[in-house]
Amino acid sequence: MKPKISPSLIARAYADPLSWLNLAVDLLPLWAILQFGWGATPLVALYWLENLVIGVFTVLRMVGAGLVQIRQGALNVLGVFFLAPFFCVHYGAFCWGHGIFIATFANQEIGLPSPEGLLRWALGTGPHMLWFLGAIIAANLAAYLIDFIGRGDIARVRVDEEMTAPYGRIVTLHVAIILGAMFAFGTDEPLMGVFLLILIRVAFGIFLSLRRRMKRDAQRAE
């Protein structure tokens, strides 16, 4: 039987400082709106940049887990060093196409940019974008060091599962974000649409924290 979401599960999840760190980072765009006048375009661009950060840490997880498994004789060297480059090319192309879509969706006439040009566009959509991107990088680095290295996930995860994990997350999140963006770009209340985007992202982050707690509970039970 799968664990159900309950007050007890929520309390256990948020007894972990990492869950609060993730929540704080998810709420930071509120400050960007109120302090720097961000609208829907820089917010969606920030969430696209987050995909790139997730991709980088996925490669680090794949290589780290693969090297441990090679040492244990459970995986061959060719497997690791084929899957990681394959992921970089495939995921990179996926993010490039997705970035062009959201830029076009935001009525930005950027044509067919190079990956570098798309990255420059995203970083230039809102004031102080690098600081907010840095907060996302810091949260992912903390999760990598605490969970993946410190709590031993590096010896438990499978390389192929790590490779496929980001895709479902991105599709689920960004279908919801696009719905919110449609509201933001297409109504007379764009600010409400931007707040809806943030609400969707925060709700998704809470879901990830609860799922992380369920995973920890299952590991302890085993």
Query: What pLDDT is recorded for position 91?
Result: 93
**d(C-alpha 184, C-alpha 45), whole Å:** 14
pLDDT of residue 216: 84
**What pLDDT, on the 0 to 100 scale, is given for residue 56?**
95
pTM given for the model? 0.88
Provide the total of helices (H) and of strands (E) in the chain, helices listed first. Answer: 8, 0
Q: How far apart are CA 47 and CA 43, in angstroms?
A: 6
Q: What is the pLDDT of residues 177-194, one digit of tens each?
A: 677 767 766 666 667 778
Task: Tell me if 140 sits within 8 A of 57, measured CB to CB.
Answer: yes
Residue segments in the chain with a per-residue pLDDT below the cut of 50: 1
What pLDDT shows up at residue 29? 93
What local confidence, expressed as pLDDT, does residue 1 receive?
Answer: 41
Per residue in 116-138, pLDDT (tens digit) is 888 998 999 999 999 999 999 99
